[in-house]
Structure 1
């Protein structure tokens, strides 16, 4: 059992990690309420799967532009300040959703405008959050930190959608948005407790040249390239969240819609609660490809299932696969990327795990409208498995990645150890 219990070493060694854990738990719970209420409100106003899927198209461009720029900002500015300001902006957008929901006849277009704004601010914020983790957590604790962060996310992903379904059904959309506004207010206060995180010495101002430098580095590293490509393929081809309401209708199980949205998080949570063993694994590339293949296969099985409980089980298995793949990606990123490029590469990471779901929403909505809801599930899942197999063959270095022998991982570890030694010497001299 001791090998299964989550490794709490990052929690014990870093005050900032503990603060971000609580801040993120609150943000994820309240944000998920809005994330569920928003597509439900669009469905209520339009009754169109294509209109719901269009959210992905609206969010895509801001995410791409501001994700890349946010990565450059994270390398050039204080990351704590960037996180705090973007969190406050997200709270303002939640307030706009609340105001619109309180109108006698809520408007449709503000929902898309806010979705685009949320995407832009998330793109600015995520690189700062992700790159901060590599600074506040010791090198050897990266997998444990990724598991704890994912655990925090999954708790919000389970409780948030479940609460959203109850709140929307009993009190309306405005109540769900009000909870989101309150959550962001508390989150901003917690962000003020973080230690300053200034840029590295000699950091350059954000520029297209700097962004291109980060992209060239990523392109030159087949292992990094593989993590991006596998995740993009899995999310684009097998991310059907936007059509869950229509599958629930077909199965005559509207009551289970909240469970469908949270089932994947349950699977991820179960893996996270038994993730102690992942801290002792060195072949993190295997996590990436095996987890993505499980995700695609389980989504396909959900589309072929006629029983709602079997669908929920498949979605839970898919969530566990996604969690495993995410642990591998986060560990490889944090163990191999140099500090001076961390923000810009985090911007690319945001695109790899965010653009895929946005495009996947468009794919799922369009395919469901053309060929039916079930084929959008099982067809996308099978395509995902095939794409992962093809990428594994094209990028074999991803599968053979070993944190003890990879040159970039060894170089990053040496840099962290040298920095820690300098801090100890400075403290002794003082």
Structure 2
């Protein structure tokens, strides 16, 4: 990562004074800095909350927390409203594609934009755009007839586009806020609070939908973005690692090309995407949940709900006990091990004769995926220079969004032809074997150490 960011606008990199090797070794942690916080004792397994002592990261964290609940409620409310308007599951599927296309396009462009302008400003602009769009969703829910499909699709695309720019930008600023040492713990905190939203948001949305109040569900989403914007206003300026210039579409498109060119020269960064695509393409289980709930687990109450919650339950529990993850140095090896755990757990899920065992396997898979996600994101932030972080996080968002959808297609096709067990077991076996191949063929990924990453960043200070 790049040199420390000077909080004074227009100033260059901070030059650290040379140390006298004969002088006594003392701590150089800034008062109240993350490094100083890391010197304090903490529990070995509990989630590492040290980054929350940093006031800048604290604003970012609570901004994420404020938006996650409403976002998850909207993810439930939109497909429900489409089905209520049309009675067509096909159009519900089309709605998913309406959201996916801008997510891919603006995920890539958003990363390039985040590398060419002040990232604090970009987060404020996209946050306000999301708030206004969610407010319009609430307004259209009050239209006669329960809304309008075309309006709903347009607003859904806008929400997806704003999210696709905002999310890579939020991830790209984490090293500048907490420094290299705090990146894994900061990622674990952010991903854990997201899992809380994934579990609680749909439950609240279900309650509101049951009483016919989509307006409130969308309004909660809008208010969450407003709170996030108010919090983010207190951040310092967060310029990219290169000189910011006027925002032009052509420059953003060229920036995407530069990002992929850079990625081709970085096998470690490239493999963070490849291993996730392998895990999601061959072992994403969601497509088979309805068939299992109607067949193998038909006698178990609320089996569909438990199946959908299984992965998130495991991810949340791992997040709450992720203190050790933030101290991992051999990040590449642990990522491969975590994905092997995912693959083995999916094999167990495919063979599970009872609902409780299937949910347990899904929870183990979710725990492995949580470890993989935290460390892969950290590797991207630590092994990419400041001026490339936005684009790398944009690609990360596209992979995270697209992989499970491709996995649904594969799992559904094989389950229809040969059964759920074959679909899940075969996919899990492929994942395990593929991780062994990755470790042998790309030793730089297996041997990657956070302590030897090429770029180092200190947290910004006021």
| TM-score range for the pair, normalised by the shorter chain length | 0.7 to 0.9
Name 1:225's counterpart in structure 2. Answer: 270
Question: Do 2:240 and 2:386's aligned partners in 1 also have CA atoms closer than 8 Å?
Answer: no
Deviates more, 1:377-386 or 1:28-37: 377-386
Name 1:332's counterpart in structure 2. Answer: 379
Name 2:257's counterpart in structure 1. Answer: 212
Name 2:455's counterpart in structure 1. Answer: 412
Question: What TM-score results when the alignment is normalised by the length of structure 1?
Answer: 0.84
Distance in 1 between the 2:77 and 2:286 partners?
13
Name 1:177's counterpart in structure 2. Answer: 218
Question: Do 2:128 and 2:226's aligned partners in 1 also have CA atoms closer than 8 Å?
Answer: yes
Name 2:315's counterpart in structure 1. Answer: 268
Indicate how the Cα distance of structure 1 residues 315 and 99 shifts in structure 2: closer, same or farther if over 3 A, else same.
farther
How far is 1:110 from its partner?
4.9
How far is 1:82 from its partner?
1.3
Distance in 2 between the 1:336 and 1:141 partners?
14
Name 1:292's counterpart in structure 2. Answer: 339
Question: SS where residue 324 of structure 2 aligns?
Answer: helix
Question: Do 1:50 and 1:366's aligned partners in 2 also have CA atoms closer than 8 Å?
Answer: no
Name 1:127's counterpart in structure 2. Answer: 168
Indicate how the Cα distance of structure 1 residues 352 and 393 shifts in structure 2: closer, same or farther if over 3 A, else same.
farther
Are 2:47 and 1:6 aligned? yes
Name 1:345's counterpart in structure 2. Answer: 392
State which of 359, 364, 370 in structure 2 corresponds to 1:323. 370
Distance in 1 between the 2:148 and 2:230 partners?
32
Question: SS where residue 412 of structure 1 aligns?
Answer: coil
How far is 1:256 from its partner?
4.7
How far is 1:100 from its partner?
4.5
Question: Do 1:84 and 1:191's aligned partners in 2 also have CA atoms closer than 8 Å?
Answer: yes
Distance in 2 between the 1:89 and 1:368 partners?
41
Indicate how the Cα distance of structure 1 residues 393 and 54 shifts in structure 2: closer, same or farther if over 3 A, else same.
farther
Question: Do 2:116 and 2:243's aligned partners in 1 also have CA atoms closer than 8 Å?
Answer: no
Name 2:131's counterpart in structure 1. Answer: 91
Name 2:198's counterpart in structure 1. Answer: 157
State which of 137, 145, 156 in structure 1 corresponds to 2:178. 137
How far is 1:191 from its partner?
2.5
Q: Which has the larger radius of gyration?
A: 2
Indicate how the Cα distance of structure 1 residues 397 and 30 shifts in structure 2: closer, same or farther if over 3 A, else same.
same
Question: SS where residue 76 of structure 1 aligns?
Answer: coil
Distance in 1 between the 2:341 and 2:235 partners?
37
How far is 1:4 from its partner?
0.8
Distance in 2 between the 1:259 and 1:382 partners?
24
How far is 1:146 from its partner?
1.6
Name 1:72's counterpart in structure 2. Answer: 112
Question: What TM-score results when the alignment is normalised by the length of structure 2?
Answer: 0.79
How far is 1:294 from its partner?
2.2
How far is 1:284 from its partner?
0.4
Deviates more, 1:66-75 or 1:84-93: 84-93
Distance in 2 between the 1:285 and 1:162 partners?
36
| 5+ long unaligned stretches in structure 2 | 1-41
Distance in 2 between the 1:283 and 1:323 partners?
16
How far is 1:263 from its partner?
2.7
Question: Do 1:57 and 1:359's aligned partners in 2 also have CA atoms closer than 8 Å?
Answer: no
State which of 116, 132, 157 in structure 2 corresponds to 1:116. 157
Question: Do 1:83 and 1:129's aligned partners in 2 also have CA atoms closer than 8 Å?
Answer: yes
| 5+ long unaligned stretches in structure 1 | none
Distance in 1 between the 2:63 and 2:191 partners?
14
How far is 1:186 from its partner?
2.4
Question: SS where residue 451 of structure 2 aligns?
Answer: coil
Q: What is the CA RMSD across the aligned residues, in angstroms? A: 3.1
Distance in 2 between the 1:388 and 1:151 partners?
25
Distance in 2 between the 1:44 and 1:337 partners?
45
Name 2:5's counterpart in structure 1. Answer: none
Q: How does 1:30-109 map to 2 (within 5 A)?
A: 30-42=70-82, 52-102=92-142, 103-106=144-147, 108=149
Are 2:442 and 1:395 aligned? yes
Question: Do 1:228 and 1:349's aligned partners in 2 also have CA atoms closer than 8 Å?
Answer: yes
How far is 1:61 from its partner?
2.9
Question: Do 2:343 and 2:432's aligned partners in 1 also have CA atoms closer than 8 Å?
Answer: yes
Name 2:55's counterpart in structure 1. Answer: 15
Distance in 2 between the 1:59 and 1:266 partners?
25
State which of 195, 198, 201 in structure 1 corresponds to 2:236. 195
